[in-house]
Structure 1
Amino acid sequence: MTLALQIILVLTAVLMTVFVLLHKGKGGGLSSLFGGGMQSNLSGSTVVEKNLDRYTILMAVIWIACIVALNLIQAFAG
Structure 2
Amino acid sequence: MDILRAVMLVILAVTSVLLTLLILLHKGRGGGLSDMFGGGVTSNLGASGVAERNLNRITVGLGLVWFASVVVLGLITRFTGV
Q: Into which bin does the TM-score normalised by the smaller protein fall?
A: 0.7 to 0.9
Asked if 1:62 is matched to 2:62, the reply is: no
Q: Scaled by the length of structure 2, what TM-score is found?
A: 0.74
Q: Which residue of 2 aligns with 1:36?
A: 46
Equivalents in 2 of 1:49, 1:28: separation in Å? 17
Provide the residue aligned with 1:17 in structure 2: 20
Query: Which of 39, 50, 54 is residue 47 of structure 1 equivalent to?
Result: 50
Could you report, residue by residue, the CA deviation over 1:30-75 in whole angstroms, capped at 9, with x for unpaired residues?
xx59x224x4xxxxxx100000000100111000100000000011
Whole-Å Cα distance in 2 between the matches of residues 47 and 2 of structure 1?
37
Give the helix-richer structure, 1 or 2. 1
Q: Secondary structure at the match of 2:57?
A: helix
Mind listing any 5+ residue stretches in structure 2 that lack a counterpart?
31-38
Aligned length: 68
Q: Which consecutive aligned stretches of 4+ in structure 1 deviate over 3 angstroms post-superposition? A: none
Closer, same or farther in 2 for the Cα pair 1:70/1:9, shift >3 Å? same
Task: Provide the TM-score with structure 1 as the length reference.
Answer: 0.78
Q: CA RMSD for the aligned pairs?
A: 2.0
Cα offset, 1:28, TM superposition: 5.5
Q: Gapped runs of 5+ residues in structure 1?
A: 40-45
